[in-house]
Structure 1
């Protein structure tokens, strides 16, 4: 069991570290509204993971992964959300105005509700549903009841994600003084916007 669990944690850690839409929205929140907003966005991402985890445990995620129609709807919604978010970030970059230091912990500045941003990005990512429904059960320790083993892996994945995104957000906001320079800020906003649109297009191209 220990060997199987260690291997599962390794796979989940790699999945967590691979850059994706979740990391992009945390970057956006960190640059636009500071540490508190970035941490709330990370919390929203983790809440989305727990939502998918719950669905996987009760079997609904598998239903979504197996249904081409349901997958298509989730894919369109997720891709549309990321593309719109990226386009809005690119539009905001046209202003070129630096973020005042006093607003570094204002979660409402330019990013809306950080919790909702993180949650929506994750919940509308069909790849998470497919991973939890098709891959996660293969990582579960066979000596445990399936519901308990899946729950354990979901909680481990959520903890790894929270630690990684929170640490990334803290490192990013510590260097925020550099990012607040107008030229640097415009460049980073544009990169973030393009990355979000790119992830949206990648989600749109995903197959079940």
Structure 2
């Protein structure tokens, strides 16, 4: 493996770059607090470990090279992001109709069990992660060398950096939660994140299929 420190630096830029993972982590931290955000981050990291395993086994390369498989994964991911966005906006509409705040809090706690799944599926169904692993990782492997160990190290490093950033981000959002927990602020942010999720889904859906 070559230029490991450069790899780490590049990973940091990729990790902090706004995307579907950040959008869903923001939404869930706002709606369920620190616990919801951390569950989402755990789901994202578990999905990254699967992407790492797929890259090591060569499955990601097959997906990237197959126009059909890539398109299927792309559209499934796009539909899921749109679904999350619509669900967020719909829950915002329903929230405005709620009259009992205690009942609302009870429902939010009950729904917290799905936050891990949302983070997991948002990352797992994003074909751009597979592309990142298959195009970015090889740049740091010596020509002709075995890719198993380098890919394992890079995948674990990327996942660790994602975990660290996600935890810091969740705690930051939670720290300023006093402001964000104001009903008007929360409604505005949930509306924005719901729209962003739909936007990411539409962008993914409308992108040209990989050839």
The offset of 1:140, in angstroms, is: 3.0
Kindly indicate which of the two structures has a greater share of residues assigned to helix: 2
Change (3 A) 1:136 1:107: farther
Q: Which stretch shows the higher mean deviation, 28-37 or 111-120?
A: 111-120
Name the counterpart of 1:119.
120
- The CA distance in 2 between the partners of 1:123 and 1:203, in whole Å, is 14
Show the 5 A alignment for 1:25-36: 25-36=24-35
Say how many residue pairs are matched.
204
Structural RMSD (CA): 2.3
Conserved? CA contact 1:31–1:179, under 8 Å: yes
Change (3 A) 1:202 1:91: same
Q: Which stretch shows the higher mean deviation, 44-53 or 172-181?
A: 172-181
The offset of 1:41, in angstroms, is: 0.5
Name the counterpart of 2:10.
11
Q: Note the alpha carbon deviations across 1:160-179, whole angstroms, 9 max, x for none.
A: 00000111001101111211
The offset of 1:146, in angstroms, is: 1.6
Q: Note the alpha carbon deviations across 1:14-36, whole angstroms, 9 max, x for none.
A: 11010000011111110111101
Conserved? CA contact 1:24–1:196, under 8 Å: yes
Conserved? CA contact 1:107–1:114, under 8 Å: no
Conserved? CA contact 1:140–1:153, under 8 Å: no
Name the counterpart of 2:40.
41
The offset of 1:205, in angstroms, is: 2.9
Conserved? CA contact 1:32–1:99, under 8 Å: no
SS in 2 for 1:34: helix
| TM-score using structure 1 length | 0.90
Conserved? CA contact 1:34–1:107, under 8 Å: no
Conserved? CA contact 1:36–1:107, under 8 Å: no
SS in 1 for 2:18: coil
Name the counterpart of 1:195.
196
Change (3 A) 1:112 1:144: same
Q: Note the alpha carbon deviations across 1:34-67, whole angstroms, 9 max, x for none.
A: 1011101101001111100000001000000000
Gaps of 5+ in 2: none
Show the 5 A alignment for 1:146-185: 146-185=147-186
Name the counterpart of 2:90.
91
Gaps of 5+ in 1: none
Name the counterpart of 1:69.
68
SS in 2 for 1:108: helix
Change (3 A) 1:40 1:144: farther
